[in-house]
Amino acid sequence: MLDPETLLSQLVGFDTTSHRSNRACIDFIRNYLEDVGVQSTIITSDDGNKACLWATLGPTDKKGLVLAGHTDVVPVEGQNWTSDPFVLIERAGKFYGRGACDMKAFIACVLAVLPSFAKRDLQRPLHLAFTHDEETDMAGARRLTDHLRKEGIVPSWTWIGEPTELYLIDQHKGTAFFETKITGVPGHSSKPDKGLNAIELGAQFLDIIKRTAHGRKQKPFADSRFDPPYSTFNLGIIEGGTAENIIAEHCRIVWQVRTHPGDDLDKTLDEIERTTTKEIKPRFAVFAPRAGMSTCICSRVPPLMPVADNPGEEILKRLTGRNDTQAVSFGTEGGFYQGLGAPVIICGPGSIDQAHKADEYVNREQLTACVALLEKTLAEVTK
Ligand SMILES: [Zn+2]
């Protein structure tokens, strides 16, 4: 068995920035597990460049805990690092490196405690789920949970080790972003009625989004743990037109929705679609099929909802001595695992304040505490 520091140093050594391959890192984990007698299933992306790892210890005919984490990390470009981000170094009880807290620390702790469980006769299974592209479009978690659904695997609960300083999180908003493209009909600006101005239609669409956002703001969720306590919208990118004297042919708008748990994104999208059909689409009629508009879903990450009966919450509250759970503003893979029909708890070493920054680090005591928490929890859930 390797200690978590050594494992963390090995994991940080793989540059798994989301746009690069994570295969070498996954191979390392697979080989490590194989050495302690645990077989893994590797689920690759279509181009084979990325992979998720799924492994089970113990019986396969019972529900078990899933220990989940992402292997990818955010880029280091443009950040002012004191040392090589892909070489873990320790300074004054802190381990520095890209992914040191988000979230190779948890994976290192899981791998450190696992060998002793691999030797035991487990009464209930333990599963490992390591993904790619959590920091981008969550394609890994989507693919992995689709695979589990096909295999009919329902966990007892899922523990995701995102950096929370070992506080317990059971709720976050969902995020989704969209690209709306409007095609108008160009012409000379002196004859505006001969063409159809895509930018003008874009402005109408922005107004629909603004009104929808306003509607959500008017009806905040009572007892919400979020600030703000409603779904929010952001207009992120707008592009269009070619010159001041040409009726704009194109307009592109990229927008985002952060869905409050309990708010139905599909209903929101239907609402936007209905208003668009009523207010904008009739203007295309004269110019069809040349003119038109379409919206594509670029990414959709479900919210994480607290559930009444969460065994993970009960165990981790007791073992950490905490008596509350919290809501966070950042998204995780939690909604995908919750979609399998089992509760999720987010709890991991390190702080989100150190994540995604130059000189990202995790404290030694956080690693030690996480290992102890894993040992106690796994002993309990596999009895
Ligand atoms: Zn993360």
Residues 134-165: tens digit of each pLDDT: 999 899 999 999 999 999 999 999 999 999 99
Domain co-membership, 181 together with 325: no
Distance (Å, whole) CA 68 – CA 54: 9
Distance (Å, whole) CA 79 – CA 38: 38
Helix (H) or strand (E) holding 112: helix 104-118
Catalytic annotation, pick one of 5, 72, 102, 162? 72
What rounded mean pLDDT belongs to the chain? 96
Distance 99 CA to ligand 1 centre (A): 8
Taking the model in full, what pTM does it have? 0.87
Distance 280 CA to ligand 1 centre (A): 40
Query: Can 137 be counted among the known catalytic residues?
Result: no
- pLDDT above 70: residue 95: yes
Distance 332 CA to ligand 1 centre (A): 7
Domain boundary at 251, 279, 300, which?
Answer: 300
Domain co-membership, 18 together with 162: yes
Domain co-membership, 212 together with 271: yes
Domain co-membership, 210 together with 347: no
Domain co-membership, 280 together with 308: no
Domain boundary at 247, 273, 300, which?
Answer: 300
**pLDDT tens-digit profile of 316-360?**
999 999 999 999 878 899 999 999 999 999 999 999 999 999 999
DSSP summary character for residue 192? G
Find out whether 170 and 304 touch, Cβ atoms under 8 Å.
yes
pLDDT at 1: 66
- pLDDT above 90: residue 242: yes
Tokens of 22: 């994570």
pLDDT at 2: 86
Output the domain CATH number for residue 105. 3.40.630.10
Domain co-membership, 103 together with 163: yes
Distance 258 CA to ligand 1 centre (A): 18
Tell me which residues have their CB within 5 A of the ion that is ligand 1: 102-103, 162
Find out whether 56 and 64 touch, Cβ atoms under 8 Å.
yes
CA neighbor of 360 nearest in space, from 89, 29, 132: 89
Domain co-membership, 194 together with 135: no
Domain co-membership, 214 together with 282: yes
Output the domain CATH number for residue 227. 3.30.70.360
Distance 156 CA to ligand 1 centre (A): 22
pLDDT at 100: 98
Distance 268 CA to ligand 1 centre (A): 27
Domain boundary at 237, 270, 300, which?
Answer: 300
**pLDDT tens-digit profile of 103-140?**
999 999 999 999 999 999 999 999 999 999 999 989 99
pLDDT at 328: 87
Q: How is 7-33 classified by DSSP, letter by letter?
A: HHHHHHTS--BTTS--HHHHHHHHHHH
- pLDDT above 80: residue 278: yes
Query: Can 72 be counted among the known catalytic residues?
Result: yes
Distance 65 CA to ligand 1 centre (A): 20
The length of the chain is: 383
Domain co-membership, 233 together with 316: no
State the average pLDDT over residues 6-21: 97
pLDDT at 329: 77
Cβ-based neighbours of 355, under 8 Å, separated by 6 or more = 74, 101, 102, 163
Distance 101 CA to ligand 1 centre (A): 8
CA atoms within 13 A on the CB side of 378: 27
- pLDDT above 90: residue 219: yes
Catalytic annotation, pick one of 102, 133, 134, 263? 134
Find out whether 377 and 319 touch, Cβ atoms under 8 Å.
yes
Distance 168 CA to ligand 1 centre (A): 15
Domain co-membership, 136 together with 200: no
Domain co-membership, 97 together with 84: yes
b/e per residue 43-74 (b: at least 16 CB within 10 A): bebeeeebbbbbbbbbeeeeebbbbbbbbbbb
For 290, the domain range is 174-300
State the average pLDDT over residues 27-31: 98
Distance 134 CA to ligand 1 centre (A): 7
Please state the domain count of the chain: 2
Q: How far is CA 152 from the centre of its chain?
A: 23
